[in-house]
Structure 1
């Protein structure tokens, strides 16, 4: 097996930065006690001003007055960790969250689908960069080795155990995952690299150090298996964004909305599912939340399309009071079936697919303004169809031919030049609702070759009444 370690060195900071419109603004995450606030981590713009992690907030303000601060939230960081696990689930069914700020993925079984590792790795890096998360990626034959190698390497791919041992022997003892007390003891003994530790008699190491040290070394070298708990994606999506200030306009809500929808699309891709309806919750400073339902006729997961639909729904409502936070909740997540496409697409480049155009019209004009057609279980032609605004169970079409164009009112059909091809087909129905009909229908053809559907009432001998045309 081959395990990829995706190390996310600044997960908390990246999670905050991707929700802020101005990425160049100096930002620091704060932690510590109320009496002594310290900078947990800072972004690149803050580093350029001289700020650094571990610095007290007081000294930071003495150096720089104009920088933004956000409270470090471990629970929020854990939510980002699990959301990225849902992203990684697209590429491997064995994803582990054993280590903080790390995604462990078994990738050997995925190479047949995603291609050789260099191309696979490039795709992982491109998607993580697009999502806004810095990363380091290392591949090794066991998960512990991959995790420890990521401490000092990026882009390293070790594919066999013999090569793995050689690479691990060059690792400093303080970067292989040993506890601080053991690392200090080894350093005082003059042992700086793992090769020097492994050169010692095993029995001597076992007497000097706890059993956990030998177990860790065996697991690191692949001589001892490690049991991992694998990630399982949840059956719903529920993410909330706390806004930095009270928002009173739709325009200011679009940026956090786009981030939420992007996260939803990433989550859906990992589950290999789509979304058919979700709800936006606008949480106000005062009063109850505003709910904005978004429904689709079929399951979709394209981020751009979902954003356009949510935006259209959002712009139709009147925000009653300032919005403090935005939440997206989705539970209706059916399997996603991609639309059938032709090998040579004839659709003009600038035009929208029908599915996207349909949903955009529904979002802009309302559900009742865009209807489809569906069959109805009724023998009377004028009652055998109905308009529908949502996807329903489809009835099987009748086995006998029916015209595609039904006239709103039957009209007399002259007998001259018209010949009957088939019929009569008798339809007697509707006695229970006052719309009783008794008709004999004929398949007819005009002098020009056009085929139609005409009838006369049972027992009458007048002209045929044209009721519809065949395509």
Structure 2
């Protein structure tokens, strides 16, 4: 409640006000998660939050701990004994909680947070256990409210107005209509809870095997001294990587201060390296961007991510041949060094590359990504399909245009009589198109090639693409929008061939 309202209430009682310490809450939850990781399962994580609060959440802070228990249940006897062990960890800290086991992360969260309390599911110590038998996830979710799927408040309010009071009622509705009217996030949450798509579990990082720590004899804020100690710690942290022919991809520095909370600095690299001077410069750059609030008392360097080094033979005619030395294989290319330095100065999200994506829509065929961020890709569900001859191949140069318009341009089809037409049938293909006010006659065409999205990608997109050769010899890539209705334009110019 607002502080002013709480103060009026406190005037009538013997209430005590304490400021909410969000950082302390997060640290306590992180500490408990690490304890679960050590005693229950190595794959343990604190729940990840999206941009907006979920329904029923008073604070936008993590409140749940998630563990993957496949392969560890037998160590405790059965699932209930595993939950009893978890409950004992909370009891040592004088905390209470609700526990659930299910086939999916979303279902377990739903049961633990919204399942009604039942006496036969409670232990004597007051902890509540909810276990959905294997393969019975849908049955366990049937009677829970839609908010159990971790939905935004506005989505829950809309479902309530529509009379959807349980997850079972929601699951009986057609997905296509839900995606169109309520958006893709709702369909994603349903798919995650039912196990149709995977939901990643970002496990807590285990202590690095390649690390070095130093407690300073006297606290200091002298940059020259800090720089010297950083270089020595980096040398100690990477010494075991060279025999393995592996290099650093992400370096982390943990600093403890005399009067301020600890700080964690990270530097990602475009390519693995063991160049000590380069790693030191990157970490010093990250340190200079962080204002030292007080003196440093302890420093820890750890290799958060490493990868095999790529061998590189210096040219006999190039400058690297004289200066490379015997450890040239531990170094990066000049381009990689430049990317590392720019990312350190501007931020990892500011230096980006471009790569092909799995999205079938032509305007989404490429995506940008941070060039110094290396993450393992999990199983990915594609968002559409291409029919009518299969997807384009690199050897089939005539299937895709050289120039793709940033925004498809509406065009008007014209029939043989010079009147406006709107048909996509191959035997009634328009005789001409009006493009930017001028009529362009069609000589011949190829198609259609159907490109459409799936229900989980949001509003339905369904297009028939045609390759069109005009009388003047120019070739266009146009499509017919099969979803457009009423006065909406149906034909669009999307690209031009060379």
Select the structure with the greater relative contact order (CA < 8 A; seq sep ≥ 6): 1
Structure-1-length-normalised TM-score: 0.40
**Structure having the higher Rg:** 1
Q: When the two structures are superposed, what TM-score results if normalisation uses the length of structure 2?
A: 0.38
